[in-house]
């Protein structure tokens, strides 16, 4: 079994950096109203050159006020605890499965945010009727299958749904949103954005059926946002 002490100093330093980052990012979830009590989790991959990657995630059932860098736990990509004093999040197996099967993914987030979870409860994708959706998700936000918590079933559903999709978010049926990104910051951003568009499209539906954006326009908006928008 991997132990932190057996890893090179630069990898241990990277683990410490990611622990601090993941602890800081967890504070963004209640800040944006995406979680209640101890629900939700953020993780980030730690790449280990020449070795097996690790992940940093919150411990299970711990309040957000307690989530310091030292409280974060480190697991291997089978979800086995490598370092930490507490049991890992109950969603660790799902996160680990995503990292094993999507090597480009560096961050995973799960929330129970109200509007996105309401769409998940309906088992309905969020249709692409906003330029913000075209920018961030490249189309509708898809729905993944129902899966029980505790093993890698949720992870399999995430990977199966998002492989080949431009969306960094999936609504796991009867559960809630999971988001992915190049790192944990990008995955948290996607979690914030999916709740925003879920809320807006829900409100639009109270007024009538939303006007969907043509696929060609979605493609153009997505390309601009991903390649031109912001600082490079």
- Two tokens, residue 174: 């009867």
Q: At what angle do helices 184-207 and 9-26 cross, to 10 degrees?
A: 20
Position 101 pLDDT exceeds 90: yes
Position 167 pLDDT exceeds 90: yes
Is there a contact between 225 and 135 (Cβ–Cβ < 8 Å)?
A: yes
- Two tokens, residue 182: 């190049």
pLDDT in tens, 53-67: 999 999 999 999 999
Separation of alpha carbons 190 and 192, rounded Å: 5
Average pLDDT of the residues of the chain: 97
Q: What is the predicted pLDDT for the residue at 149? A: 92
Q: What is the predicted pLDDT for the residue at 1? A: 62
Dihedral angle over CA of 193, 24, 111, 163, nearest 10: 70
DSSP state of 173: T
Share of the chain above pLDDT 90, in %: 96
Separation of alpha carbons 142 and 133, rounded Å: 12
Domain with 22, as residue range(s), is: 4-227
Prediction pTM value: 0.97
Is residue 232 in a domain? no
43-66 core/surface letters (b: 16 or more CB in 10 A; e: else) = bbbbebeeeebbbbbbbeebebee
Over residues 134-149, the mean pLDDT reads 98
Separation of alpha carbons 24 and 18, rounded Å: 10
Q: What is the predicted pLDDT for the residue at 232? A: 67
Over residues 59-80, the mean pLDDT reads 97
Over residues 41-70, the mean pLDDT reads 97
Q: Which residues have a Cβ under 8 Å from the Cβ of 80 and sit 6 or more positions away?
A: 1
Q: How many domains does one find in the chain?
A: 1
Q: What is the predicted pLDDT for the residue at 95? A: 98
pLDDT in tens, 22-35: 999 999 999 999 99
Position 120 pLDDT exceeds 90: yes
Is there a contact between 184 and 17 (Cβ–Cβ < 8 Å)?
A: no
The CATH number given to whatever domain includes residue 178 is 3.40.225.10
């Amino acid at each position: 079994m991997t132990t932190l002490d057996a890893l090179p100093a630069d990898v241990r330093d990277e683990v410490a950096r990611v622990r601090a980052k993941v602890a800081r990012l967890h504070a963004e979830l209640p800040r944006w109203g995406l979680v209640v009590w101890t629900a939700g989790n953020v993780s980030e991959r730690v790449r280990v050159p020449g070795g097996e990657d690790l992940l940093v995630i919150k411990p299970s059932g711990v309040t957000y006020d307690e989530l310091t860098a030292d409280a974060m736990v480190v697991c291997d990509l089978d979800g086995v605890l490598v370092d930490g004093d507490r049991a890992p999040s109950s969603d660790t197996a799902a996160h680990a499965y995503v990292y094993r099967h999507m090597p480009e993914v560096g961050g995973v987030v799960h929330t129970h945010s109200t509007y996105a979870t309401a769409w998940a409860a309906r088992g309905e994708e969020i249709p692409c009727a906003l330029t913000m959706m075209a920018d961030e998700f490249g189309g509708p936000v898809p729905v993944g299958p129902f899966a029980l918590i505790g093993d890698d079933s949720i992870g399999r559903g995430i990977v199966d749904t998002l492989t080949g999709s431009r969306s960094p978010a999936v609504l796991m049926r009867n559960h809630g949103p999971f988001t992915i990104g190049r790192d944990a910051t990008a995955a948290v951003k996607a979690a914030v954005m999916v709740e925003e568009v879920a809320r807006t499209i829900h409100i639009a539906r109270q007024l009538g059926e939303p006007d969907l954006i043509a696929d060609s326009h979605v493609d153009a908006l997505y390309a601009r946002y991903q390649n031109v928008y912001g600082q490079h």
